[in-house]
Structure formats: structure tokens, C-alpha cells
Structure 1
Amino acid sequence: MWRRTVLVAATGTLLVSCASTHPSAPPRPVRATKRVRTGAPGPQHETARRTRTAHRAAAAHRWGLPTPPLPAPAPPHAKKTMAPRAGFEVRGQKALGLPPVFTGIPTRDKVVFLTIDDGAEKDPTFLSMMKELNIPYTAFLTDDEIKDDYGYFRTAQRLGAPLANHTLHHRYLPALSYAEQKREICGMQDIMAKQYGKRPTLLRPPYGNYNQDTLKAAKSCGITYVPIWESEAFIGKMDYRDDWNVHAGDIILTHFRGRSEWNGTMRDMMRSLIKYLNARGFAIARLQDYLP
């Protein structure tokens, strides 16, 4: 088992002169622009900033948080090419051009990326919470768990959540043939295209398990990346893959689960996670903003 568990306490412009086009006219010199200091932001800017801060604080209070989630920085302009995490490659990874498997994004930004799997629990108030608190996440969906209410995830998508592939039936893929794995992955691509209007480019294999056939099938189905996870969030605790801490660029996993599986709700889980990340100075950023 890779898990290690920690309990979490409830914390210039260059101005070019237009020279005459007459051949006898001497060229006019290029004059540099003069920088003008604009001074401190005006009162309207400060009023807007205070209003945003007040709205964020009010939203946090409504959802039972002492402080709002830390805001993520602007995403990078240049995106780094993703490579497989060392030790997570398969035979022929580079030669076959297979999608990379990784557990985090290389970045100096103090951000993590939230991903939510399966789709069993469909609590409308959770979607409201995530929208009001402006928390980005990616939903990795399994058809067996969402087919009773595709509409719930249309709402999530409309509110800004990217939807990704977690296979049709959540089977242990390495035990399946290539053809069977392709049906699991491509079949879910078809469902996603029909229900949500696009075929995902991200796949998470169930349980984080895969082999060469998985990645070959994924590539044939239009998958570009295979992000798994570095840590997993529960109510009141975190499980870690490698050590006992959170790091810049970590991908965090949690699940669409409710009281039947957790001693609480998804809202409880998010409160726990936000307090944990705030105490360590981390913001939640959108995974897709850091991928090429």
C-alpha cells in the first residue's frame, strides 16, 4: 500500500513616426515613448477590490469557513511539455508516443489541482458551494455512476467544471485485453461526446492502474494526458503517495461521495480540504490552465 495518512485539524512600445513616402524626404528619427507614471490605483480600483474581498468573505461564511480559499495566481503564459513521471513509464512510451502518466504539474506557483472521481453522489448544494467559492476542479466520470442523472454533470460543466474520462464500468484495466480496454475508454468517450458535447483529452484509469495496452488504447481514443494523483482528500484527513506533505503542483484526488460512504458530505470534505490548504498557503488552480 502506498498510502500514508495524516489527520487534519478543523485549519516600447516603440513609437514609429510616419516618414514621408516621397523619395527625397529624409527619414525622420524614431522617438522613444515617454513613460508616464500613473501613480497609485484610483479610488474606484480600491472600491472594487474591497467589494471583491467582501464578497469572498461572505461566501466563505455562508459555507461554514472562517476564511475564503486562497485565490490562485494567473496561469502561466508558457506551458511546459508534460513528460511521464519517472517510474510511471511503460515499455515503448516514447517510441510509441503514448500519453504521459503524471501525479503533478511542474510549477513554482503555490497551487494544487483538485480532481473528483466517479460521480455517484450528486448533491446540488455542492455545485453551488464550488461556484460561490470559485474553486476549480476536474470531474473524472464513470458511466455506471452518472447514467442515472447525466444532467447533474451538465450543470457542473455549465458552471465551469471540465469533464474527463474515468471509463465506462470502472474495471481494473490491466486485467483486460487491449480490445476490452479500448471499449472501456472509447465507449466512455462516445458517452461524453453525446451527453456533454465533446470528447475528453484526459483519462484517469480506475484505481490509477494501467499498462501499455491502456495507454495505447487511450491514445487511439483521443486521450492526450493520463493524470493520476499525488494525494487524496477525505473528511478530516489526507492520504499521501510519497511523503507527509503537500507540494506545489500536486494533483489531489477525491470522490463524489456522500453520507453512505463518508461520515459526512462532500461539503464537509471541501471545508476540511480548504482549511488544510489555507493553513499551508496553497491555492487550488485549474488543471487545464497548466497543460499545453
Structure 2
Amino acid sequence: MPTPSATPPGSTPSTPGTPGSSPAPDARARRIRRSGPGRHHRRGLAALTALATLTVGCSALRTQDPDPARASAPAAPPAAAGTPAVQAAQGQAAPAQGAQLAQAQAAQAAQAALAAMPAARPQAAAGQELNGRLAAAEQQAGVQQVLAAARRWGLAALPLRAPAPPAVKPELADGPGVKRLPGLPPVVYRVPTSDKVVFLTVDDGAEKDPQFAAMAAELGVPMSAFLSDYLARSDYGYFRGLQAHGVTLNNHTLTHPDLRRLGPDALRHEICDQQDHLQQESGTRPRLFRPPYGEYTEAALRTAASCGVTAFPLWNEEAFPDHLEWRYADQVFHPGDIVLTHFRALSGDWKGTMPDMLRRVVDAATAQGFAVARLEDYL
């Protein structure tokens, strides 16, 4: 049997890998260690480590996915042992790579455990659910509060809630319910809307009933007040209190005259000076003006427009504590009807209190399927 040749003493060793040369034993051992099963084992471990890192990272990304539909979808299950993919991986594993196969199986087990865990909902989705529950709870509490107020104030049924204000206010063109001259504020008897809403408006300001203010606030009934200074001036603080609960304060002249009998200077005094006065008292310049007795002239329209008025709302029905007066023969509400009433105390023609009047209006509207809405949301 041939004996391996040795390098003669004093000669230069052959370079490893050179044709016709044999590497030294220590070099060969180093090569075996570099290229043997241990190196493949380490590469497999590194690959599996990277795979596990990617798996956990992708799971973390799923929990941060802002899309609730994707975030709530179940994770895809890992390939089970015995499937073609796993069999192929097992067929390629050499006996010397048993540790690598065991590591792969451990990684599969880890993936299965991750898949079995419920996917965490994104923070945004959890926050939305919490906000939704809080909103539902607040809405329920609000309904209970209004129901208790309805019982306390003797209403026949829970008032209907008005729909959201229209994104675009109705066009006030000349037609049914609206009279308009070119370039002048429209005169509105009925707001052109299909919403089943009516509007409650209260004139003058003579009576300042705290029970009426409390009832309107507790029930959340929207109203618009049209104030004459000579009656309201004794306590504008009362009307500012109404304003704090959403009641708008509008113009009904200084002294409640018949505008048909006034000249230009008197018109400006009655309308525009009251505009200035209400702005000073309430902090807001009125946009709406109701002429006393429902009477007006073209000169009154022009004067009011010059000092910031955009519409003249009149009315279809008038409310009293003991009855309603209807403008039309059918004696029912129509979408967009404006209801007139007054700040009045018990008297000969006012047989009751202001809470009695408010109860009658709300009960009548509710019985006919109408909600009371805010006039300024539509005009």
C-alpha cells in the first residue's frame, strides 16, 4: 500500500488547493471543521433564528395594523407535520442534521402556539369600541334623564328627538310658505323641508317664568325668542340664562309698533337700534326679525336688511296654555311649520302658565310624530 509522501525537510510546503499537492494535517482538520456538519448546523440555527424573529415581528405588526378588518382576521395556521411541505423538508435533512430538524420542529411548535393565541386588537379599534360604549352609555343616560323630566313635567309621552341640522339650509325661494322680493329678506311662514319638525318661537318678553326656563332646559326643547326691549329690559339676565341653554335671542323691535305706520327714521330706530341693543346684551347680533302683529312693508324689509337681518319668520300656528290655534283648516302640523307663542303670565286670555303652554305644544307635536327643532338651524 503506497505511503503518503511527506514534504522533504527544508522544502517549502505546497499551497493548499494547488493541483498535485496535499494539505498538511492541521490545515485539513481546519477545512473539515469549516465545511463539515457543524457549519451547516450553525447556518441552520441562524436561519431558524431569523425565521423566528420574522414570525414574531409579523405577529407584532398584525397587532398594530390600523385596519380593523385585517387585524381581527385569524392568523394562518402553520404547516402541520406530515404535510407535503414538512415531508419535503424532512427528506432533505441528512442524518447529521438531526439537530437542525429538531430546531425546525421547535420553530413549528412556536408558530403553532403563536397562531393559537388570540390576535390583539389594534389600539385604535379598542379605543373606538370604548368610545362607542361610552357614547351608548351617555345616550342611554340622556334618554333616562329626559324620560324622568318628561314625567316630572307631566308630558303624555317622551318628546321626539329632532334630526341632525341639515348640512345645507333650505333654499328660501319665492313659493309656498315663503314670500320673497328680489334683494330683500324672505318672509317665511313655513320652512321648506321634508323633515318632520316644527319650530317654537316665543315673542315679547313680558313674563320671565323660572319654571318655564327650567322645564325647557331639562327637556332640551329648542326655541327662538323674539324680544321687544320695552318688555325684556327689566331682566335681560333671564334671557341670557335661556341663551345659555341654546335659546337664540332675536329682534322684535324696541317698542312693538305697527311698522306700516312708521317713516324711514322711525323704522331704523325700532329695528336697527334693537339690533345694536341685543348684540350688546347677548353678545350676538340677531339674524332674524319678527315684525309686530306680523305686519311689514317693503321699506321695513329694506331697513332690516341694512342692519344685518336675513329673514322675517312669521307663523302657522299660535300656542296657548289651553289650546292651539291653527292657520289651516286641517288643523294638523306640517313639516317646517312655525309656532308662535308669548312670554305671558296667567291672565284673562292666557288660561294657565308657560309650562302649561310648553306641555301642550310638545304633546301635540309628539302625538303627530313631529319633533321640535331649532329655527336657526334651517333659516
TM-score calculated relative to the size of structure 2: 0.63
Q: Does the 8 Å contact 2:177/2:191 carry over to 1?
A: no
How far off is 1:177 after superposition?
1.2
2 CA distance for matches of 1:232 and 1:86? 19
Deviation per residue, 1:29-53 (Å, 9 max, x gap): xxxx896899xx9766654443232
Note if 1:70 corresponds to 2:160: yes
Counterpart position of 1:288 = 376
2 CA distance for matches of 1:112 and 1:88? 16
How far off is 1:80 after superposition?
2.0
SS in 1 for 2:278: helix
Counterpart position of 1:23 = none
Equivalent of 1:252, from 339, 345, 353? Answer: 339
2 CA distance for matches of 1:232 and 1:199? 26
Counterpart position of 2:143 = 53
Q: Does the 8 Å contact 1:85/1:102 carry over to 2?
A: no
Note if 1:164 corresponds to 2:250: yes
Change (3 A) 1:46 1:189: closer
Q: Counterpart of 2:313 in structure 1: which amino acid?
A: P
SS in 2 for 1:75: coil
How far off is 1:187 after superposition?
1.3
1 CA distance for matches of 2:328 and 2:261? 26
Equivalent of 2:261, from 147, 153, 175? Answer: 175
How far off is 1:175 after superposition?
1.3
Q: Could you say which structure has the greater relative contact order, defined with CA pairs below 8 angstroms and 6 or more residues apart?
A: 1
Q: Does the 8 Å contact 2:201/2:225 carry over to 1?
A: yes
Structure 1 window deviating more from structure 2 (50-59 vs 268-277): it is 50-59
Structure 1 window deviating more from structure 2 (41-50 vs 161-170): it is 41-50
2 CA distance for matches of 1:197 and 1:189? 11
Change (3 A) 1:183 1:159: same
1 CA distance for matches of 2:204 and 2:233? 11
Note if 1:122 corresponds to 2:208: yes
Counterpart position of 1:277 = 365
1 CA distance for matches of 2:297 and 2:178? 10
Deviation per residue, 1:66-123 (Å, 9 max, x gap): 3221111111112222234558647xx21xx110001121111110011000000101
Structure 1 window deviating more from structure 2 (78-87 vs 54-63): it is 78-87
Unaligned runs of 5+ in 1: 1-32
2 CA distance for matches of 1:199 and 1:143? 15
How far off is 1:289 after superposition?
1.1
1 CA distance for matches of 2:307 and 2:238? 25
TM-score calculated relative to the size of structure 1: 0.80
Higher radius of gyration, 1 or 2: 2
Q: Does the 8 Å contact 1:84/1:101 carry over to 2?
A: no
Structure 1 window deviating more from structure 2 (187-196 vs 109-118): it is 187-196
How far off is 1:62 after superposition?
1.4
Counterpart position of 2:295 = 209
After superposition, the CA RMSD in angstroms is: 2.2
Change (3 A) 1:44 1:203: closer
1 CA distance for matches of 2:236 and 2:155? 30
1 CA distance for matches of 2:139 and 2:281? 39
1 CA distance for matches of 2:288 and 2:365? 25
Q: What is the count of residue pairs matched by the alignment?
A: 253
1 CA distance for matches of 2:139 and 2:253? 43
How far off is 1:203 after superposition?
0.2
2 CA distance for matches of 1:180 and 1:132? 40
Q: Does the 8 Å contact 1:113/1:287 carry over to 2?
A: yes
Q: Does the 8 Å contact 2:177/2:188 carry over to 1?
A: no
Q: Does the 8 Å contact 2:322/2:352 carry over to 1?
A: no
Q: Does the 8 Å contact 1:85/1:103 carry over to 2?
A: no
Counterpart position of 2:8 = none
SS in 2 for 1:232: strand
Higher helix content, 1 or 2: 2
Q: Does the 8 Å contact 2:200/2:372 carry over to 1?
A: yes
1 CA distance for matches of 2:262 and 2:135? 58
Counterpart position of 2:20 = none
How far off is 1:193 after superposition?
1.6
2 CA distance for matches of 1:284 and 1:108? 14
Counterpart position of 1:266 = 354
Q: How does 1:189-200 map to 2 (within 5 A)?
A: 189-200=275-286
Counterpart position of 1:148 = 234
Change (3 A) 1:183 1:48: closer
Q: Counterpart of 1:108 in structure 2: which amino acid?
A: S
